[in-house]
Amino acid sequence: MDIKLLERVQKRFTKSIHGLNKMKYEKRLNILNITSFETRCLRGDLLTCFKVFNKYESLDVENLFVFNARQSRGHSFKLKKVFCRLDSTKYSFPYRVVEEWNKLKDDIVCAESVNAFKGGLDHHLRAKGGFV
C-alpha cells in the first residue's frame, strides 16, 4: 500500500535527524511537532466526507455512500460498509472512510462549518494518538 511506503520514508527521515535516531517513531513525531502520514490521509478523507455531506463538494452522496438505517447509537449520519470483493473497491474513498466516520461524535459530524469540523476532528485524532 502506498501509505505504508510513504510512512516508511517519513520514519527514515525523522530517524536521520541528529539526536532522534534512537527514539521511537511516535516520540520523534511529537518532538518535531508533525503528524504521521497515515493520520494526514485519514484527516483528508474525513474532511472530504464532511464536505460531501454538507454540499461543499459537488458529489452525489447517494452514489458514494449507503446510510445505516438502524440508528441505535452515535450520530445521525452513520454509514454502512458494503461488501466488496475487489481490491480496487476495498481501497476506494467511500469504502475506507466508513469505519472512521462512524467513530466520530455527533458534535463533530454536525459542525456548523468546515473550520469547526476541522477543530473537532483534530481534537478527536489527537485523543486517538494521531498527533495532529
Residue 67 pairs in a beta bridge with 79
How many CA atoms lie less than 13 Å away from 70 in the CB half-sphere? 3
Q: What is the pLDDT along the chain (132 residues), one digit of tens a residue?
A: 577 888 899 999 999 999 998 899 989 988 888 888 888 989 999 999 999 888 888 877 777 776 776 666 666 678 877 777 776 666 777 778 888 888 899 899 989 999 999 999 999 998 877 655
Confidence (pLDDT) at 128: 78
**Residues 70 and 118 occupy one common structural domain:** yes
Residues 28 and 42 in one domain: no
SS (H, E, C) 57-96: CCCCHHHHCEECCCCCCCCCCCEECCCCCCHHHHCCHHHH
C-alpha cell at 14: 525523522
| Domain identity same for 18 and 50 | no
Same domain, 44 and 90: yes
Domain match, 23 and 50 both: no
- The grid cell for 97 is 472512510
User: What's the domain range around 2?
Assistant: 1-34
What per-residue confidence (pLDDT) applies to 71? Answer: 65
Same domain, 43 and 23: no
The three-state secondary structure class of 49 is helix
Q: What is the pLDDT of residue 46?
A: 93
50-59 long-range contacts (CB < 8 A, ≥24 apart) are: 50/109, 50/111, 50/114, 50/117, 50/121, 51/114, 53/77, 54/114, 56/114
Specify whether 49 is located in the same domain as 107: yes
For the chain, the domain total comes to: 2
Report the b/e string of 20-36 with b at 16+ CB within 10 A. Answer: beeeeeeebbeeeebbb
Output phi, psi for 79, to 5 deg. Answer: -110, 155
